[in-house]
Amino acid sequence: MSTTFAGGAVSGAHRGAPPRGARAHPAAVLPVITAGAFAVLGMWWVNTPSVSGLDDWLIGAGRITGLLAGYAIVVLLALMARIPALERGVGSDKLARWHSMGGRYVVGLSVAHMLLIIWGYAVADATDVVSETVTLNLSYPDVLQATVAVLLLVGVGIVSARAIRPRLRYETWFHLHFYTYLATWLAFGHQLSTGNEFVGSPVVQAIWYALYIGVAVVLVWYRFLTPVRQAFRHRLVVSRVVQEGAGVVSIHISGRRLDRLRAEPGQFFRWRFLTRNLWWSPNPYSLSAAPRPDELRITVKDLGDQSRELARVRPGTKVFAEGPYGAFTSGRRRGRKVLLIAGGVGITPLRALFESIPAAPGDLTLLYRARTPEDLVFRTELESISIRRRATLLYCVGPRSRIGDPFTSRALTELVPGISDHEVYVCGPSSMTGSVISALRTAGVPNRRIHHESFEF
């Protein structure tokens, strides 16, 4: 079933605030990371005058994989350091995908480094790999702690695997990742004490120290000190909790000088509500309304213990917020016409964009998918915004068994004439998002005009 609610001619388009803050473009970030990897390979080349014999080849390969693993783990930490320019320009979703892909490289390189070094030294010493493993771990400085570091990285990699990660609670997965910091610290000492590139080379050691210390400072500043500073500056508290529908609540959070957060519609924060059951776990929730100088709003659906507990939060509860994060904002928009496609609770960031993204009368459309009319969150608000902005609001309601696939390229083309000329923002369950993106491409929408951001861990 599809219902259309088109806004009437009441007022002109609302001109949202322009994008703010420095933004690092993905096309500029990846070459910098690649250049760093080549520089690391150059360190090995300069310190390796010649390679001869099987043992030299194995040890040389082990040194290369070790250096690349040491560099890659620093890159991983930098990607997740909540650096504002990266968050606003690249986006948390893409950074998380890069981090996930890079994590596989780190684990693979680390394991390869360990095995190649053991094998190479076993060949050089004319012994078996088991005996050589024991010798290296017990006789060489910091090798045992490096072995522990590799095992920790493998463990984090296992819990992050696609087959295992969905079975873990977000809070469990989040806290297990802190072992990456311990693994990095253990591996760092090993590199400097036994790496040929560092022993007897103060300049190279200084460069490596600067790389690791620099990323550590950025991590501490943006992931720990900045949220604390913001907490004292803005004094966030829950002002009211509003029931939006079955299992869905909006939490209004008030504070001081919230405009200095420079939050944009479409972004999210990681929230800690300082109650007995919620203080220890930050969870990501998008703003469901355009931010105001004195109030922020998030909307939460009951999807588990943590989100269910939020429905019982009382006014006056203090709030600790990290952010804003994400690039799912009007800053990505280049075209004149805009289409927003929401599914389920994915309406939350799109509701904020529907209110604020710059668009002339007739150039803004919101397509909202829900299983039942009762699942349409913000219905009154959306219809009011549609009237005020002279925008088009389309509801697609009903179970798939009865209405079929509402997101085929043909259906989208019929619903939104000239869809290939639209800038499209998509947010919803991962299965829906994938289906919509595929249909949009088939309908002729270029990849550069399709914007989506997944908030699944």
pLDDT digits (tens, 9 = 90+) for 5-23: 444 333 333 334 444 556 7
User: pTM to 2 decimals?
Assistant: 0.78
Residue 49 has pLDDT above 70, yes or no: yes
Per-residue pLDDT, averaged over 221-241, amounts to 92
Q: Using 50, 70 and 90 to split pLDDT, how confident is the model at 27?
A: confident
Question: Where do runs of H (alpha helix) occur along 168-242?
Answer: 170-176, 179-194, 202-219, 226-234
For residue 415, what are its two tokens?
């619903």
Residue 304: the pLDDT is 64
Instruction: Tell which residue, 44, 108, 43, 35, has the closest CA to residue 75.
Output: 35
Q: Using 50, 70 and 90 to split pLDDT, how confident is the model at 423?
A: very high
Residue 105: the pLDDT is 93
Residue 26: the pLDDT is 78
pLDDT, one tens digit per residue, over 367-409 is 999 888 888 999 999 999 999 999 999 998 888 778 778 888 9
Residue 2 has pLDDT above 70, yes or no: no
* Rounded Cα–Cα distance for residues 440 and 457 (Å): 25
Could you state, in order of their start, the residue ranges of all structural domains in the chain? 2-17+329-452, 26-220, 235-325
Residue 111 has pLDDT above 90, yes or no: yes
For residue 122, what are its two tokens?
């076993």
Query: Residue type for 148, please?
Result: V
DSSP letter at 221 equals I
235-325: same fold as 2-17+329-452?
no
Q: Using 50, 70 and 90 to split pLDDT, how confident is the model at 281?
A: confident
Superfamily of domain 235-325: Translation factors (2.40.30.10)
Percent of the chain with pLDDT over 70: 93
H/E run at residue 450: strand 450-452
Q: What is the DSSP string of 202-219?
A: HHHHHHHHHHHHHHHHHH
CA of 159: how far to CAs of 100, 127, 156, in Å? 12, 35, 5
Percent of the chain with pLDDT over 90: 49
Residue 289 has pLDDT above 90, yes or no: yes
CATH architecture type of domain 2-17+329-452: 3-Layer(aba) Sandwich (3.40)
Residue 14: the pLDDT is 37
Per-residue pLDDT, averaged over 142-153, amounts to 90
* Rounded Cα–Cα distance for residues 191 and 198 (Å): 8
Length reported for the chain:
457
Do residues 36 and 388 lie in contact, with contact meaning Cβ atoms separated by under 8 Å? Answer: no
Q: How many CA atoms lie within 13 A of 203 on its CB side?
A: 2
* DSSP helix/strand/coil, 282: coil
Residue 15: the pLDDT is 38
Do residues 44 and 63 lie in contact, with contact meaning Cβ atoms separated by under 8 Å? Answer: yes
Which residues share a beta bridge with 253?
238, 296
What is the overall mean pLDDT for the chain?
Answer: 86
